């Protein structure tokens, strides 16, 4: 049986099948309804502070 690719609604990673997604969500996102994500490049972070640092370093003027 071929697995359908499904995307994690929290971090946008792709998984082969619903079971793989369920295992990922339980392991990586349990109790954490929101994952800090950069709106510019899509990178995800462990904390809002890490996201802020990322913005300051990676997306300051003149950099992409």
12 and 22 together in one domain = yes
Same domain, yes or no, for 28 and 38? no
| pLDDT score recorded for residue 12 | 79
- pLDDT for position 61: 67
Token readout for 64 is 């992409």
Predicted pLDDT at 15? 94
The tally of domains found in the chain comes to: 2
Regarding whether 41 and 64 lie in a shared domain, the answer is yes
For 3-63, give the secondary structure using H, E and C: CCEEECCCCCCEEECHHHHHHHHHHHHCCCCCCCECCCCCCECCCHHHHHHHHHHHCCCCC
- Print pLDDT tens along the chain (64 aa): 567 999 888 777 899 999 998 898 888 877 766 778 898 998 988 888 889 999 999 998 655 4
Q: Are residues 39 and 18 in the same domain?
A: no
> Are 43 and 28 in a shared domain?
no
Q: What is the CATH number of the domain that holds 4?
A: 3.30.160
24 is in which domain, residue-wise?
A: 1-32
Q: Do 18 and 39 have their domain in common?
A: no
For the chain, give the longest Cα–Cα distance: 49
Residue 47: the pLDDT is 80
């Amino acid at each position: 049986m071929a697995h359908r690719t499904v995307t994690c609604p929290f971090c946008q990673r792709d998984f082969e099948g619903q079971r793989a997604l369920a295992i990922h969500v339980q392991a990586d996102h349990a109790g954490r309804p929101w994952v800090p994500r950069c709106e510019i490049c899509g990178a995800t972070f462990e904390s809002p502070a890490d996201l802020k640092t990322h913005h300051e370093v990676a997306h300051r003027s003149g950099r992409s």
